[in-house]
Copies of this chain bind each other. A is one copy, B any other.
Amino acid sequence: MSILIRDSLVDGAPQDVYVEDERIAEIGRRQEADVVIDGRDMACLPGLVNGHTHAAMTLLRSYADDMNLQDWLEQRIWPQEAKFRPEDIYWGTKLACLEMIRSGTTTFNDMYFFMEEAARAVADMGLRAVLSYGIIDRFDERKAETELKATEGFLRFVRNLRNPRILAAVGPHNMDTVSEGTLGSAKSLAVEEGVKVHFHLAETEREVEASRERYGKGPVRALDEMGFLGDWLVAAHCVWLSDRDARILGERGASAIHNPTSNMKLSVGRAFPYPSLRSAGVTMGLGTDGAASNDNLDLFEEIKQACLLQKFDTNDARVLPAGEAWNMATEGGADALGLPAGRLQEGKLADLILVDLTHPQLVPRHDLTSLLAYAANGSMVDTVICDGRILMREGHVEGEAEIIEGARARAEALRER
């Protein structure tokens, strides 16, 4: 199957983008294809990569807001999550996929539970995802054993799916909820299986203090001594880091995923140290985190937020310019996940989007990258292609109404449970 996008804007000039099967085969001039898309007045861009999500949390969107992190978790989120059933994860993830497609995301890196159901939703919806079961042992050896078993089972499950769009990762939750032994086993398992480790790192000050008490040093140095840091690590948040921590992450080849909206909404007390991580050469991506702390999965918003937060935090408007944030949301995220995607280049995966440049918010166009970072939102995405298949045309995704109804019904049932 081949797709030809004609005359869309590629790096500032109208070009044709030719997709064959799951790859970008040619950028230039082409005559024919199975499907031809008129790309005039559109920007052709790599699909966005959401580097950190808990997709099925869409079911808890607008359920608990304006609360501090620990109260929010303990009083509102965890009690609801305890009531989740597998079917909820399927519909919640499906809603998240729908929303991500509509706003131009083609890949996401997800950590949650009942992940077989998340995989089923991703398979149905056509996106690309890296999925991990969130390991929490609360320093209990028996729990550790069942959690690692669950992870091994999920890795097997994904392997057997043989779906090129679905990859597994190992997901130890964070240092507060996972013991040193389990962190080590999780990492070894990931390295053996050749998959990534999806982890929450240094999100809160409390986590740093707990690490100091438990290990006598901050999270990054403690994890480094455990041999937990390496190019397998995709670390979400990375807020409470020193310059030295950033350098260690850089030396070990770990990736950092910034979640500015969630960090601000939950008042984690500091901003992602972008300048230090950049100097340290750390691969950086962007994530929305779960919808309950955002409350949408629109990466266009996240790009803008990342730029604004850095400018505010460093008091220097030159920090994190539009182009760098755009790169985080595309090639940075793809590199973190080890995917040949996030770039509009021949040979890369055909994960592409078209943005409608006739929207009044995108006029005039002195600088396309600035427009995309500061003026656009996900609702301006017209067409989405993932793995060489069209998932959205002219803002229309197949089966949308059924997904919305299904997710609504599950959210209602959850509240009444």
Binding site for B on A (CB under 8 A): 58-63, 65-69, 72, 95, 98-99, 102-103, 261, 263-267, 269, 271, 291, 294-298, 301, 304-305, 307-309, 311-312, 314-318, 320-322, 358, 360-361, 363-368, 370-371, 373-380, 400-401, 403-404, 407-408, 411-412, 415
Contacts and interface: CB of A to CB of B under 8 A. Distances in A.
A267 B375 contact: no
Nearest to A311: B267
Contact of A308 (B264, B380, B401): B264
Given A65-B322, A65-B374, A294-B375, 6 more contacts: A61-B375, A62-B368, A62-B374, A65-B321, A265-B307, A364-B407
Nearest to A69: B317
A264 B312 contact: yes
13 contacts: A58-B364, A62-B375, A65-B370, A68-B317, A264-B309, A265-B308, A265-B374, A291-B375, A296-B376, A301-B301, A301-B304, A366-B415, A377-B378
A361 B67 contact: no
Contacts of A365: 62, 408
Given A61-B363, A62-B370, A374-B296, A265 B69 contact: no
Contact of A261 (B67, B308, B321): B308
A85 to B, nearest CB: 16
Given A62-B366, A267-B316, A407-B364, A377 B377 contact: yes
Contacts of A371: 61-62, 295
A62 B371 CA distance: 6
Pick the most buried of A261, A264, A321, A358: most chain B CB atoms within 10 A of its CB. Answer: A264
Contacts of A318: 66-68
Given A317-B67, A379-B379, A361 B72 contact: no
A264 B263 CA distance: 16
Contacts of A411: 363-364, 366
A61 B267 CA distance: 31
Contacts of A72: 317
Contacts of A360: 95, 98-99, 102, 400, 403-404
A148 B414 CA distance: 63
Nearest to A66: B321
Contacts of A374: 62, 65, 265, 294-296
A262 to B, nearest CB: 10
Nearest to A305: B308
A316 B269 CA distance: 8
A363 B407 contact: yes
B305 A361 contact: no
A182 B360 CA distance: 37
Contacts of A301: 301, 304, 377
Q: List the 4 closest pairs (A to B, CB-CB), nearest first.
A: A379-B379, A364-B411, A66-B321, A295-B374
A312 B309 contact: yes
Contacts of A59: 364
B404 A66 contact: no
Contacts of A364: 58-59, 61-62, 407-408, 411-412
Contacts of A296: 361, 374-377
A373 B66 CA distance: 11
Contacts of A271: 312
Contacts of A308: 261, 264-265, 305
A216 to B, nearest CB: 27
A63 B366 contact: yes
A402 to B, nearest CB: 12
A374 B69 CA distance: 16
A66 B322 contact: yes
Contacts of A407: 363-364
A62 B326 CA distance: 15
